[in-house]
Amino acid sequence: MRNLLRKEFSLVINPYYFLFMLFGVLLLIPHWVFFIAPMYLIFIALPNIIQSAKAQKDTEFTMLLPIRKSDAVSARVLAFAILEVAQIAVIAVFAALNIALYHSPNFFIDTNVAYIGCVFVMYGVFNIVFFPMHYKTGYKLAIPLIVAITAIMLFAGAIEVMVVTVPAVTRVLDGISKTALVSQIPVLLCGIAVFALLTWISIRISIKRFSKVNL
């Protein structure tokens, strides 16, 4: 698996795509919809990476190696999960800078610990929608991407609306004070757990579907 991941980051994922993580700087925009910033990885980087791999016939090349189909699928999904975690790390830095610079709450969800937890869940939702649909054929990109992006936008929109309109949700997810961490740290931990679980389920379903594909 280590060698397959190395192949993904050497031949498929160009280091250039790591620059897209700098869209995290958008969190420094005062009073903004902060869920948009981590979506740029999905809007731009992921489709281009998969399209580039498709053009290079990476799947066909990988299947010529002495490996199982399941290993190829696991490596691809884990590689993107690593990119997502790296993006969240960058987002967390700029989220902290936002609070340090402005010291003021946002109309929508604040750039706090709970927000980071929600971003983990958002990426998990994307993984469990996109990859099983993509690996049903191993090459189709447009429809899985549209459906997955729609899913995460609905998720982010629901969180934003609830933060504004539902006091119980506001008390748990909103706020930038130290006392707010009491409710927000569990959200972060749950978000990490949900991300890991959804990504693992995504891998299992993708493996099952890709095993039926005749390349």
Q: What is the mean pLDDT of residues 2-26?
A: 85
pLDDT digits (tens, 9 = 90+) for 88-147: 999 999 999 998 888 877 778 988 999 999 999 999 999 999 999 999 887 788 899 999
Alpha-carbon dihedral 36, 37, 42, 43, rounded to 10 degrees: 70
Q: Is 118 left (phi over 0), alpha (psi -120 to 50) or beta?
A: alpha
pLDDT higher than threshold 90 for residue 67: no
pLDDT higher than threshold 80 for residue 171: yes
CA Rg value for the chain:
18
Q: Give how far the C-alpha of residue 6 lies from the chain's centroid of Cα atoms, to the nearest Å.
A: 20
Q: Which pLDDT score, from 0 to 100, does residue 61 have?
A: 77
- Which residues are CB-contacts of 160 (< 8 A; sequence separation ≥ 6)? 33, 35, 108, 109
Task: Give the percent of the chain with pLDDT over 70.
Answer: 100
- CA gap 167, 153 in Å, rounded: 22
**Quick check: 213 and 137 in contact, CB under 8 A?**
yes
Q: Which pLDDT score, from 0 to 100, does residue 10 have?
A: 83
Please report where in the chains the tokens 């290079």 appear, as a residue: 56
DSSP secondary structure letter of residue 35: T
pLDDT higher than threshold 70 for residue 76: yes
Q: Which pLDDT score, from 0 to 100, does residue 130 have?
A: 96
DSSP secondary structure letter of residue 123: H
- Write the single-letter amino acid at 112: N
Q: What mean pLDDT value characterizes the chain?
A: 89
- Write the single-letter amino acid at 171: R
DSSP secondary structure letter of residue 67: S
pTM assigned to the model: 0.93
- Range with lowest mean pLDDT among 33-42, 165-174, 175-184: 175-184
Helix, coil or strand: residue 112: coil
Token readout for 154 is 């609905």
